[in-house]
Structure 1
Amino acid sequence: MPHLIVTLALLALSSLAGGLALLLGLPLPFLLGPLVVSAVIATVLPQHLPTGYDFPAWLRLAFISVIGLMIGARVSPELLASVPQLALSFSAMVLFVPVAHAFNYTIFRRIGGYDPATAFYSATPGGLFESLAMGEEAGADLARLTLQQFMRVILVVTILPIGLSLWLGQPVGSASGMSLAHDGVPWSALPVIVLAGMAGYAAGRWLRLPAGQLTGPMAVAALLSVSGAYHLDIPQWLVNVAQIVVGTALGMRFTGLSRHLVLRGMGLSFLSVGGMLILAAFFAEALYLLMDEPFDVMLISFAPGGVTEMALVALSLQANPALVTLHHIWRILITVLSLSLSSRLLRRYL
C-alpha cells in the first residue's frame, strides 16, 4: 500500500509539473516536466521513498505501447512506397552508428576514466535496454551505464527541440501544439486501443524486436493502417498521460545515484551528445546535397534521441513522422545487431 500511495503522489506531482512546463512553452512538456520533478526526488529526497521502492515497470510499459500505437498509425502505403528511395540515408546510418559509437567510447574511456566494458556499452547510440542488459552481463558498472544511457536520451530530446526552435524562430514539436494524437476520439475506441496495444506488446516480446514495447504496438498499428482494416485514432489526453508516466519512470531511474555521480555523468553526456549532434548535422547536410531531403528532417532522423519527440518535431516541420521513426528504428536495429555480433569477442578483451 505505501508503494501505491507513493506512485500516485509522484504521478500527481508530475502532472502539475507537466502543466507548468506547458505554460512555459517547453518542448515535450508532459515528458520533461515529470522527468525533472521525479529526478530531483530520486536524487535529492531518496530518503522519503519507501525502502526498495521502484516505479511500476508494467505501468511504464503499458503507456510506451500507447506511444507506439500513435506512431504506427501514421504509416501509410505512400510512406512504404518511398522506402526504396531512402536507401542512401539508410546506408548512411550504417556508417553513422559505428562512428558515433567510437567517438562516445573515446569520451567515456579517456575522459571519463570508465572501465572498457562500461565505456563501450555507455557509448552505444541506441538500443538503450539492450545496452543495459548486455553491459550488465559483460560486467559493466550498471549505475554509470544506466546514467549515461538515460542522459543520452534526455539531453537529445531536450537540446534538439530547443535548438531547432531558436534556429527556426518558432516552437517545434509538442511545444508548438503539434501532436500525433487526435481530439474528440470517442470512448468506444478505447477497447480497440487496449487490444491493439496488448497484441503489439506480445508480438514485440515474442519476435524479440528492439524496443519491442514500442515497436511491437507500432507494427500492429501500421499493419492495421496500411491494410485498411482499421485506423487507430489515439486521444490526446491518453498521449499526455502516457508521457507523464514515461517521464516519471525515467526520472526515477536516478534513485540511488549520488549527486556527484549525476553531475559528472551529465558533463560527459554533454560532450557525447554534442559530438553526436554535430556528426548528425554533417550527415544531414551531405544527404541534403545528395538526396535533396530537407536538412532539418535528416537532422532529426539521425539525432540519437527519443523516437516520440523526434516524430513530434517532424510533424511540426511538416515531415511525415513515420519516415523519421523508420530511421530511428533502423538505427536501433543496427546498434543491437552490432552489439549481438560483438558480444562474444568483447568477453575476451573487455
Structure 2
Amino acid sequence: MPVPKILGLWAALLAASGLLAYGLSSAHFPAALLLGPMLAAIVFGVRGAPLRIPKPGFQGAQAMIGCLVAHAINAEIAGTMLDDGLLILLVVLVTVLAGGLVGYVLTRMRVLPGTTAAWGSSPGGAAAMVAMAEEYGSDPRLVAFMQYVRVAAVVLSASVVARLLTEPSAASGADTMPVQAIPALSVLITLTVAAVGAGIALALRLPAGALIGPMVLGAALHATGLASLVLPPALLDAAYATIGWYVGLRFTRETLRETFHALPGILIATVAVILLCAGWAFGLTRILPIDFLTAFLATSPGGLDSVAIIAVGAKVDVSFVLAVQTLRLFVVLITGPLLAKWIARAAPPDKTAG
C-alpha cells in the first residue's frame, strides 16, 4: 500500500482514538486513553486496515507502564507478598484453574481442536502463550485470537466495573503521574531505568520482561530514594495508546474469517473465565479486608500491563493487584505446558479416524 495511504490511515486511527478517549474520559472511565485507542483499533483492524504496532514500539510502551507502576507501588508490593503470600498464591491458583476448567470444557465439547483450548484459555501472558502454543503444535492464529479477545474483554469489563465503583472525582486525574514541575534530569533517569530494566529482563527472557524489568528496577530505586521516577503526561498518553492499538489491531478480518466457526465458543469461554474470576473476587472480599474493585482487578485474567493501567487510574490497592498479577503470570508460564497436556488427554477420540 502506498505510504501516503498508510499515513492517512494512521491519521484517521489517531483521530478516532482521540475522540473515543475524550468521550470515555468525559464519562470518567479509568484508562480512557487505553480503552479508546483499543476500541478504535479493533474497528480499523476488522475493516482490513493494514496497520501494525512494531514489537519494539509495544515493548517501549510496556517499559513506560512499568515505570508508572514502580512509581505507584514503591516498597509495598514486597510487604504484601510477605504478609499475604499464601493467600496470593491461592488467588493465583484459583484463577489458573478457572482458565483450565474452561479449556477442558471447550475441548470436551470439540469447540476447539487439540490443545488450542488450553493455550487460548490460559489466563495471562498472551504473547508468551501464543509463542509456546506454536512450539507445542497448536494453531497459533486461533490461540492468538482467543488470547486477545480475552485481553480486550478484560479491559472492557475492568474499565466498566472501575467506572461503576470509583467516584468520578477520584478517577478523573489518576491516569498519570502527579507532576507539578517536570525536572529534565528526573525524566532522563526514568527513561534510563526503563531502557536498562527492559534490556536486562528481555536478555534474561523473563515473561513480559519489557514491563516487569523497569517495574522491579524502578520500584527498588524509587522505594530506597535513590531515584525519583517522573514521566511527562504526553509520554504516558502515547504509551497507553500504543498498548491499546497493539491489542486492537490484532483483530483482523482474516482472523475473524478463520475462527468464525469457533467464535461463539471463544466468546462463551472468555465470559466464563471473567465471571469465574469475578465470583472468586467476591469471595476474597469476605476473607481479606479489601474492596471488590481491588479483588476484581487482582483476579482479572490478564493482561498485566492493561490491568496495571486501570489499577493505577482507579486508586485501588495497587500493590496487592500487581503482586497477584505478576505471580500469576509466572505460574501460568510454568504450568501452561502441563495443563495443555492434561486437557489434550481429556479430548474425546476422533470417531472419524480409522
Structure 2 length normalisation: TM-score? 0.84
Contact 2:201 2:210 in 1 (8 A): yes
Q: Which stretch of the first structure deviates more once superposed, 60-69 or 276-285?
A: 276-285
Structure-to-structure mapping, 1:101-180, within 5 angstroms? 101-111=99-109, 113-166=111-164, 168=165, 170-171=167-168, 176-180=172-176
Rounded Cα–Cα distance in structure 2 between residues aligned with 1:68 and 1:146: 23
Equivalent residue, structure 2, for 1:100: 98
Contact 2:107 2:346 in 1 (8 A): no
Contact 1:280 1:302 in 2 (8 A): yes
Rounded Cα–Cα distance in structure 2 between residues aligned with 1:299 and 1:136: 31
Contact 1:107 1:271 in 2 (8 A): no
Contact 1:18 1:31 in 2 (8 A): no
Equivalent residue, structure 1, for 2:350: none
Report the CA distance shift for 1:278/1:186 in structure 2 as closer, same or farther (over 3 A).
same
Q: Which stretch of the first structure deviates more once superposed, 337-346 or 220-229?
A: 337-346
Report the CA distance shift for 1:280/1:191 in structure 2 as closer, same or farther (over 3 A).
same
1:199 aligns with 2:196: yes
Equivalent residue, structure 2, for 1:327: 324
Equivalent residue, structure 2, for 1:247: 244
Rounded Cα–Cα distance in structure 2 between residues aligned with 1:173 and 1:312: 15
Q: Which stretch of the first structure deviates more once superposed, 265-274 or 125-134?
A: 265-274
Report the CA distance shift for 1:318/1:37 in structure 2 as closer, same or farther (over 3 A).
closer
Report the CA distance shift for 1:196/1:224 in structure 2 as closer, same or farther (over 3 A).
same
Contact 1:11 1:244 in 2 (8 A): no
Equivalent residue, structure 2, for 1:80: 78
Q: CA RMSD in A?
A: 3.0
- Aligned-pair distance for 1:128? 1.2
- Aligned-pair distance for 1:119? 1.3
Amino acid at match of 1:30: L
Report the CA distance shift for 1:177/1:269 in structure 2 as closer, same or farther (over 3 A).
farther
Runs of 4+ in 1 over 6 A off after TM superposition: 343-350
1:17 aligns with 2:16: yes
Equivalent residue, structure 2, for 1:34: 37
Equivalent residue, structure 2, for 1:219: 216
Rounded Cα–Cα distance in structure 2 between residues aligned with 1:273 and 1:345: 20
Q: Which stretch of the first structure deviates more once superposed, 187-196 or 312-321?
A: 312-321
Equivalent residue, structure 1, for 2:297: 300
- Aligned-pair distance for 1:157? 0.7
Rounded Cα–Cα distance in structure 1 between residues aligned with 2:13 and 2:62: 17
Rounded Cα–Cα distance in structure 2 between residues aligned with 1:68 and 1:6: 34
Rounded Cα–Cα distance in structure 2 between residues aligned with 1:16 and 1:171: 25
Rounded Cα–Cα distance in structure 1 between residues aligned with 2:244 and 2:262: 19
Equivalent residue, structure 2, for 1:210: 207
- Aligned-pair distance for 1:288? 2.1
- Aligned-pair distance for 1:33? 2.3
Rounded Cα–Cα distance in structure 2 between residues aligned with 1:348 and 1:268: 20
Amino acid at match of 2:213: G
- Aligned-pair distance for 1:219? 1.2
Q: State the Cα deviation string for residues 63-121 of structure 1 (Å, max 9, x = none).
A: 11111111122232344233322224313224313421222213532456211221111
Q: State the Cα deviation string for residues 307-347 of structure 1 (Å, max 9, x = none).
A: 34433443455433233112101111110011255678889
Equivalent residue, structure 1, for 2:54: 56
Report the CA distance shift for 1:203/1:29 in structure 2 as closer, same or farther (over 3 A).
same
Count of residues in Structure 1 that have an aligned counterpart in Structure 2:
342
Q: State the Cα deviation string for residues 150-177 of structure 1 (Å, max 9, x = none).
A: 11111011012213423x3755996x33
Contact 2:72 2:318 in 1 (8 A): yes
Contact 2:13 2:44 in 1 (8 A): no
Rounded Cα–Cα distance in structure 1 between residues aligned with 2:10 and 2:186: 25
Rounded Cα–Cα distance in structure 2 between residues aligned with 1:6 and 1:196: 37
Rounded Cα–Cα distance in structure 1 between residues aligned with 2:10 and 2:217: 29
* Structure 1 residues without counterparts, runs of 5 or longer: none
* Structure 2 residues without counterparts, runs of 5 or longer: 348-354
Amino acid at match of 1:104: V
- Aligned-pair distance for 1:302? 0.5
Q: State the Cα deviation string for residues 25-71 of structure 1 (Å, max 9, x = none).
A: 2643322222233332322234xx4xxx7532211211111111111
- Aligned-pair distance for 1:349? 9.2
